[in-house]
Amino acid sequence: MPLMSTKVYDVAVIGAGVFGAWTAYSLQRRGRRVVLIDAHGPGNSRSSSGDQSRIIRMGYGADEVYTDSAIRSQRLWNELFEAGGEPLFVPAGVLWLAHDGDPYPRQTLETLKRFGVPCEELTPADVSARYPQFNLEGIAWALFEPESGIILARRAVQLVVRQAISCGVEYLHDAVGQPDETKNLESVSTAAGRQITAEHFVFACGPWLPTLFPRLLANRIWPTRQEVFYFGAQAGDLQFHSPAMPVWIDFKNEVYGMPDVEDRGIKCAVDRHGELFDPEDGDRVATSQGLDAVRQRLALRLPALRDAPVLESRVCQYENTSNGDFLIDRHPDFENVWLVGGGSGHGFKHGPVVGEYVTAGIAGRREKIEPRFSLASKGTAQQRVVY
């Protein structure tokens, strides 16, 4: 098929997930001529930005770089929702259930206080009085972030793209082929026969990055299979809806849960890396083993849901770097190509700041890459330190 000619853009952003959508939006608002391309559509069911909901929290242990980013990102998310006329943030609060001797929640509390983030240190008795649905066996204390909560993820990504288009971004539902890594990148070809020519390229393709850049990223980003379940409470029982129940994180037991929002069910998942997964062709059917692991943890913390029916299940993926830090860096061989990904299961909330970061880099306003986001910092063996 002959390639169709097209206009020349300042920046082509490949991938309309949360990182790519916010990058395109940020670039366009700063006067760039931008095209945003996605093979399956914003918030699609194959993407890491899909599904109904994502947690937005300020707590990251002692990791100030992510707390700082989350604070600004929440402000930018809320500005977007106000501008778009869609209230897609649910202020459910986030409850950290802390075990005795677990340093991460304590470090989180100290960091939040340094940043002036509203937070409360609660005793088990405090939690039981406020949220009696929880079983606090093994819990020594709790940390509550009252201004954190839930972003309605799929709809939020789609809103970012609509707002970007309204600002002048051109959106294409098309698939970009693997770039030629042996020469300077001037254009990319698409499945529909387009030739996209741009001054700069941003590949924000999440779990597809290793496929597009196998020589560079095949052993630095690992997409893993992650199973999520939604459970149904008894008819008329509102104790598992927001605001009666917050988002909760049992960090030591590697589990998190969300209250029922939009009457979809109570969400629960194990926050542990699953097996390697193909985001394009992998079957997205949850397993009985995955359900058993979630049920066991759910029954411990919310005993009334021990036998609750599964209303929905999903298989999504993390795209993990070696330690959980983002990848936001130039391609080592192409000055005009940026690689943006490695959300690693916690990245969704940071989309607005990632967009600003890439925009500043392309504009030359960032003298150096944050070392933790650099390609050079990404190892070839997984040792997670960011949660």
**pTM across the whole model:** 0.96
Instruction: Read off the pLDDT of residues 317-371 as tens digits, 9 standing for 90 and up.
Output: 999 999 999 999 999 999 899 999 999 999 999 999 999 999 999 998 766 778 9
Q: Which two tokens stand for residue 376?
A: 């050079």
d(CA 22, CA 40) in angstroms, rounded, equals: 17
Q: Which two tokens stand for residue 356?
A: 């600003």
Q: Is the peptide bond before 243 cis (omega within 30 degrees of 0)?
A: yes
pLDDT of residue 367: 64
Instruction: Read off the pLDDT of residues 81-118 as tens digits, 9 standing for 90 and up.
Output: 999 999 999 999 999 999 999 999 999 999 999 999 99
Q: Check whether 215 has a pLDDT greater than 60.
A: yes
Q: Lay out the sheet containing 149-152: strands in order across.
A: 53-56, 149-152, 89-90
d(CA 200, CA 187) in angstroms, rounded, equals: 9
Match 């939690």 to its residue by tokens. Answer: 127
Q: Which two tokens stand for residue 117?
A: 């983030």
Based on DSSP, count helices (H) and strands (E) in the chain, helices before strands.
9, 18
Domains of the chain: 8-49+154-221+323-377 (3.50.50.60), 91-149+222-317 (3.30.9.10)
Instruction: Read off the pLDDT of residues 233-261 as tens digits, 9 standing for 90 and up.
Output: 999 999 999 999 999 999 999 999 999 99
First to last CA, the chain: 46
